[in-house]
């Protein structure tokens, strides 16, 4: 493999990379950097998550930017503010030996006035979320007339999040002779649409196989009932005492609920989702990167752009709606040549969702039994013993206390001392897991399925025959509500009609704005539906509904809407209280 200096990069950039600890380029960097430096052709580049795509597109741009010109020459678009901040930080590090090069991240949830002042001082590279970028364009504070490079990072995710209108607006504001660079970890149909609409005869390069999981990541699944999903998550954490993991949930509400439960049960955990302010997100990520947290509970979009190494596990508390998103999730572990484990917690009804993922990653999931109480206690006990064995004794600090300690304990022999020591540290774990039930054999269906009273369920006269997908339905709802912070619950796409759930506070607005709209040359009709007791299929409440759908079995998409990286109101994070009487064994914080 070549060195960075062999790729045509300047000495200033190479020196920065060496100072940062980068010695050799990754495969995608080896392919992309010379191509971008030597050609103005548009480029589609595909590589797995964690293989250094940011350096692959940013290093050649840094090399070619005219630092004497303070106009914006490169615009890099990313779906989330976390990813935008991370890219801008990386570029600043890569160009630290080029002081006249300025980079700025623009995103919602932060002062637009501060960003405008920075733009007025001159910024050659702007990294932005689509929402804030469009806002600055409309205010005539971000001029893209001199753009030479446009980078679409995670473009498929931007479309899934309903940003097509913003992307169109940004593209219209850039010169036609710019170089467009598209970098992605997956290759869904939406990426091909982007290439056709926004790129001119692009060259395609690939590092590894498209949509294939990393070789050093193993894939496991635990099959439980829905009510045992959280107990199974706790047992996975308990059987892996040194766990350092991201737990993925599908909605912001679920993310916060699971994080709150883990914290109340004594786990070193926190949440990351779109309702947090930027200051809260930064604080959580700093704790996680410093390993002051062992478990980060996050939504897919909030976790995009997280640059965290050494993750031992990725846990899918709920599987994502699209198989491509699983590739993004699992790619968070097994980085830098290390091994990682990606776990899916599923119910029996969700077993068929593994097959399309297996086809994408070209690997099989291995079913793993949820550990029982005895297995967990044994592992936790010996972790404690190893910790005691390996502890470094500071006799200088404790020697003055030792005579009194020896006197107090002199009547206890060695075996009795060990028993008492273990009991002090371990009684609560033993008590909690005593007679713990087998979650693997608890396969009785839940007779009660509590409905989410904060969501209203709708019928819509569109389905698969209209090319409706969960992502397109989310985009349709966003377009007519003109908001991006509305909670969307379960989505059920059938052959000729569909069902979906929306925050009840927006039900009237949606009925008024979406009814009568057009989708694929068809007039949209939506109606409220009534939820059957026990979680059965809904029926339309306004009139009889007996039409049989022939589009196959029900697919439970179940996902909430994505967290958006553009402008929106910052949600407040609820205060948390840690209960003294938790439902699980209290874990010592690291």
Instruction: Write down the domain spans for the chain.
Output: 4-206, 217-371, 374-433, 455-540
Percent of the chain residues past pLDDT 70, beyond the cut: 81
More confident residue, 125 or 580: 125
* pLDDT class of 582 with cuts at 50, 70, 90: very low
So what's the pLDDT on residue 90?
93
pLDDT at position 453 over 70: no
Mean pLDDT in residue range 532-539: 45
So what's the pLDDT on residue 76?
96
Mean pLDDT in residue range 15-32: 89
Mean pLDDT in residue range 565-585: 38
Mean pLDDT in residue range 40-52: 82
So what's the pLDDT on residue 295?
96
More confident residue, 195 or 166: 166
So what's the pLDDT on residue 485?
61
- pLDDT tens for 258-269 read 999 999 988 999
Pick the CATH number of 4-206 from 3.40.50.300, 3.10.560.10, 3.40.50.11930, 3.50.30.50: 3.40.50.300
- pLDDT tens for 55-104 read 999 999 999 999 999 999 999 998 888 889 889 999 999 999 999 999 99
Most confident option among 19-23, 24-28, 232-236, 456-460: 232-236
Q: Which two tokens stand for residue 479?
A: 């377009």
Cβ atoms within 10 Å, residue 367: 13
pLDDT at position 550 over 50: no
Whether 455-540 and 4-206 are alike in CATH topology: the answer is: no
pLDDT at position 571 over 50: no
* pLDDT class of 483 with cuts at 50, 70, 90: low
CA distance 111 to 323: 36
CA distance 426 to 384: 9
Cβ atoms within 10 Å, residue 326: 29
More confident residue, 394 or 116: 116
| Range of lowest pLDDT (124-133, 227-236, 431-440) | 431-440
Mean pLDDT in residue range 119-144: 94
More confident residue, 520 or 188: 520
So what's the pLDDT on residue 585?
55
pLDDT at position 402 over 60: yes
pLDDT at position 450 over 60: no
Residue 259 · residue 248 · CB < 8 Å: no
Residue 81 · residue 109 · CB < 8 Å: yes
More confident residue, 306 or 349: 349
- pLDDT tens for 494-506 read 888 999 988 888 8
Query: For the chain, what is the mean pLDDT?
Result: 81
Cβ atoms within 10 Å, residue 193: 14
* pLDDT class of 209 with cuts at 50, 70, 90: low
CA distance 6 to 62: 16
pLDDT at position 401 over 60: yes
More confident residue, 412 or 190: 412
Beta strands in 119-276 (DSSP E): 125-128, 149-153, 179-184, 203-206, 217-223, 245-249, 269-272
pLDDT at position 456 over 60: yes
So what's the pLDDT on residue 81?
81
Pick the CATH number of 455-540 from 3.30.70.330, 1.10.3720.10, 1.10.645.10, 3.90.1150.10: 3.30.70.330
Residue 587 · residue 268 · CB < 8 Å: yes
Please name which of 229, 485, 237 lies closest in space to residue 345, comparing C-alpha atoms. Answer: 229
* pLDDT class of 160 with cuts at 50, 70, 90: low
Mean pLDDT in residue range 276-280: 81
CA distance 442 to 156: 39
CA distance 107 to 104: 10
Please name which of 84, 83, 103, 79 lies closest in space to residue 93, comparing C-alpha atoms. Answer: 103
So what's the pLDDT on residue 425?
67
CA distance 277 to 300: 17
So what's the pLDDT on residue 539?
43
Please name which of 334, 386, 345, 390 lies closest in space to residue 237, comparing C-alpha atoms. Answer: 345
So what's the pLDDT on residue 484?
58
Please name which of 48, 58, 5 lies closest in space to residue 28, comparing C-alpha atoms. Answer: 48
Q: Which two tokens stand for residue 177?
A: 């002779």
> Using CA of residue 261, residue 263, residue 264, residue 265, what is the dihedral sign?
positive
- pLDDT tens for 294-340 read 999 998 877 766 667 789 999 999 998 878 788 878 888 877 667 89
> What backbone torsions phi and psi does residue 330 show, to the nearest 5 degrees?
-65, -25
Q: How many CA atoms lie within 13 A of 255 on its CB side?
A: 30
Q: Which CATH class is domain 217-371?
A: alpha beta
Helices and strands (H and E) in the chain: how many: 21, 21
* pLDDT class of 531 with cuts at 50, 70, 90: low
More confident residue, 171 or 346: 346
Q: Which two tokens stand for residue 101?
A: 């090069």
So what's the pLDDT on residue 49?
65
Pairing assessment for the beta strands 217-223 and 340-346 based on DSSP bridges: parallel
10 Å CB burial of residue 117 (0-12, 13-18, 19+) is: exposed
CA distance 408 to 399: 15
Cross-strand pairs, 364: none
Mean pLDDT in residue range 10-23: 90
Percent of the chain residues past pLDDT 90, beyond the cut: 36
pLDDT at position 134 over 60: yes
Cross-strand pairs, 184: 46
More confident residue, 454 or 169: 169
**Residue owning tokens 């599923």:** 346
pLDDT at position 588 over 90: no
């Amino acid at each position: 493999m070549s060195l960075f200096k062999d790729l045509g990069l300047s000495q200033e950039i190479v020196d920065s990379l060496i100072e940062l600890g980068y010695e050799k380029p990754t495969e995608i960097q080896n392919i992309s950097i010379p191509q971008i430096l030597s050609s103005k052709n548009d480029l589609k580049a595909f590589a797995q998550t964690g293989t250094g795509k940011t350096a692959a597109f940013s290093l050649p741009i840094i090399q070619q930017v005219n630092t004497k010109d303070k106009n914006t020459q490169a615009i890099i678009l990313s779906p989330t503010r976390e990813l935008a901040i991370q890219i801008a930080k990386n570029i600043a590090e890569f160009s630290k030996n080029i002081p006249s090069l300025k980079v700025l991240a623009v995103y919602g949830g932060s002062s637009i006035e501060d960003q405008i002042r920075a733009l007025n001082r001159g910024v050659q590279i702007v990294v932005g979320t689509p929402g804030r970028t469009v806002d600055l364009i409309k205010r005539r504070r971000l001029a893209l007339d001199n753009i030479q490079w446009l980078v679409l990072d995670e473009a498929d995710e931007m479309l899934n999040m309903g940003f097509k209108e913003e992307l169109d607006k940004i593209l219209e504001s850039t010169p036609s002779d710019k170089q467009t660079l598209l970098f992605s970890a997956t290759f869904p149909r939406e990426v091909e649409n982007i290439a056709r609409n926004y790129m001119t005869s692009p060259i395609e390069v690939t590092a590894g196989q498209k949509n294939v999981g990393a070789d050093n990541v193993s894939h496991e699944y635990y099959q439980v009932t829905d009510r045992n999903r959280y107990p199974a998550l706790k047992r996975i954490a308990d059987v892996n005492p040194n766990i350092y993991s991201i737990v993925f949930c599908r909605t912001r509400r679920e993310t916060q609920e699971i994080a709150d439960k883990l914290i109340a049960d004594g786990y070193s955990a926190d949440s990351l989702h779109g309702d947090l302010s930027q200051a809260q997100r930064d604080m959580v990520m700093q704790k996680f990167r410093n390993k002051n947290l062992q478990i980060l509970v996050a939504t897919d979009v909030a976790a995009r752009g997280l640059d965290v190494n050494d993750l031992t596990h990725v846990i899918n508390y709920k599987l994502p709606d699209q198989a491509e998103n699983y590739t993004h999730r699992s790619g968070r572990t097994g980085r830098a040549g290390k091994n990682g484990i990606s776990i899916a917690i599923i119910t029996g009804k969700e077993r068929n969702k593994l097959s399309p993922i297996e086809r994408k990653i070209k690997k099989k999931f291995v079913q793993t039994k949820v550990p029982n109480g005895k297995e967990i206690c044994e592992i936790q006990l010996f972790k404690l013993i190893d910790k005691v064995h390996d502890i470094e004794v500071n006799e200088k600090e404790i020697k003055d206390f030792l005579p009194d300690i020896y006197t107090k304990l002199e009547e206890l022999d060695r075996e009795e001392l060990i028993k008492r020591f273990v009991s002090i540290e371990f009684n609560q774990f033993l008590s909690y897991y005593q007679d713990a039930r087998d979650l693997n054999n608890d396969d009785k269906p839940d007779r009660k399925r509590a409905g989410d009273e904060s969501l209203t369920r709708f019928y819509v006269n569109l389905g698969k025959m209209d090319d409706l997908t969960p992502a397109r339905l989310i985009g349709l709802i966003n377009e007519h509500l003109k908001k991006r912070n509305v909670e969307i619950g379960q989505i059920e796409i059938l052959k000729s009609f569909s069902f979906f759930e929306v925050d009840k506070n927006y039900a009237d607005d949606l009925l008024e704005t979406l009814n009568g709209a057009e989708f694929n040359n068809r007039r949209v009709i939506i109606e409220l539906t009534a939820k059957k007791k026990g979680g059965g299929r809904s029926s339309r409440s306004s009139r009889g509904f007996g039409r049989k759908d022939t589009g196959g079995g029900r697919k439970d998409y179940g996902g909430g809407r994505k967290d958006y990286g553009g402008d929106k109101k910052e949600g407040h994070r609820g205060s948390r209280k840690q209960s003294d009487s938790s439902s699980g064994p209290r874990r010592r914080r690291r």
